[in-house]
Structure 1
Amino acid sequence: DLYRKVFIFRKDPSDAYVVLRAKLEQPLQNFTVCLRSYTDLTRPHSLFSYATKAQDNEILLFKPKPGEYRLYVGGKFVTFRVPEGHGDWEHVCASWESATGIAEFWLNGKPWPSKGLQRGYTVGAEAAILLGQEQDAFGGGFDVYNSFSGELADVYLWDTGLSPDKMRAAYQSLRLPPAILAWKSLIYEVKGDVVVKARLRE
């Protein structure tokens, strides 16, 4: 149980990562991914990397620079421009729906303008899911200068969109619907220099 705990990626640049095991039975027509990050990086870094054998950026949450997030689905991406952080935790949720091709992005419990991405696409189920590195091949092909350094927490993945109420609940760490990946029952494997510790600040 990782409640009130964090993964600390200690090095910069880093070759460390955390492998997440998800209970995925079928391909995804919809998804929502949420997580909290705390870092002073200004270089590009990966937050959540979901690769299949056919597509290394099947789902990727990536931060190319302060004030910008990218959501990739099936190798294509949209950019969400946000205010630069002030040295604080940032909570993000990104969701995508195949039927409409709508990508939603929420930062610290607030929605940003939705964008269009990969209408009619299906996300593959056999995936390597990693925190800390961006996969350029299935389960590997890392570039240390896209690695994450800092603290990550509250990682969730759902096979549905979330209602606005649930998006806000994720930000506030309230009760959430059952997820494919849930922070409180996460099955994970640490590879390299990553420490699990109690969270020091909200």
Structure 2
Amino acid sequence: QWTCYVWNLLLTAELHPQSGLVPQDLYRKVFVFRNDPNDAHVVVKPEPEQSLQNFTVCLRSFTDLTRPYGLFSYATKAQDNEILLFKPKPGEYKLYVGGEFVTFRVPEIRMDWEHVCASWESTTGIAEFWVNGKPLPRKGLRKDYSISAEAVIVLGQDQDSFGGGFDLYNSFTGEMADVYMWVYGLSPGKMRAAYQSLQLPPCLLGWRNLQYELKGDVVVKPRLRETLII
């Protein structure tokens, strides 16, 4: 992960020299969203400086929720679901790009940490979704679309307006870790590397050097296990 770590450190210094948010190395740590339902969330930076034609988002989550919840929300003033990773029920994820979505049905597993990666490219409109290091059938979404750059990125909620508008019953409760975002699509090998917590390529958002702000009842705690790989 050091490649991603060093790149993120340089990017932070260049794009947000006066941001006031000190990057933190969250190795072997997690965000714990404690209450259900809640308005707790984590705002993460930096946001991209230019519009996106490609992206990959990866993260791990651990919860016993069976109701809908948002994991990763990238909202702009024009579109609250510019990018949204949403889980409406066990065994199903929705990936939104530009307000439209595709549904991925995933194998139901015993209650444990679940690692997901979502990737999208504008030129083909191909959306990929990986669960615990394994790909699901690819789907088509928003071909030739461009994702706006001026955004608020939130973990643990579904933004229904720019930076807010949360529905408490779409909130996440549980633990979250290993959040990454790239402004390009990862190769299959790097998707598996993200699941295995191996060295990762340059990234926009990286868990080893994350600028974040806790909002509400969410705390940073050590992991309860050495590895989160199932």
TM-score (norm 1): 0.99
Counterpart residue type for residue 96 of structure 1: W
Q: Does 1:97 align with 2:97?
A: no
Q: Equivalents in 2 of 1:15, 1:91: separation in Å? A: 23
Query: SS state of the match for residue 162, structure 1?
Result: coil
Aligned length in residues = 202
Q: Give secondary structure in 2 for the equivalent of 1:119.
A: coil
Structure 2 Cα separation of the partners of residues 25 and 143 of structure 1: 29
2:194 matched residue in structure 1: 170
Name the structure with the higher helix share. Answer: 2
Whether 1:79 and 2:103 are equivalent positions in the alignment is: yes
| 1:85 Cα deviation from its structure 2 partner | 2.7
Larger Rg: 2
What secondary structure sits across from 1:177 in the alignment? Answer: coil
Query: CA contact under 8 A between 2:47 and 2:149: conserved in structure 1?
Result: no
| TM-align CA RMSD | 0.6
Match of 2:137, SS state, is: strand
CA contact (8 A) 2:36 2:173 kept: yes
Distance (Å, rounded) in 1 between the aligned partners of 2:144 and 2:179: 26
Aligned to 2:185: 161
Alignment gaps of 5+ in structure 2: 1-24
* 3-state SS in 1 of match to 2:85: strand
Letter in 2 for 1:182: G
Structure with more strand by fraction: 1
Percent of counterpart pairs with the same letter?
A: 76
- Structure 1's consecutive aligned runs of 4 or more residues displaced over 3 angstroms after TM superposition are none
Q: Give the deviation of 1:23 after TM superposition.
A: 4.5
- 1:66/1:85 contact within 8 Å kept: no
- Are the aligned partners of 1:133 and 1:148 in contact in 2 as well (CA < 8 Å)? yes
**TM superposition score normalised by structure 2:** 0.87
Matched, 1:145 2:181: no
CA distance in 1: counterparts of 2:101 and 2:84, whole angstroms: 9
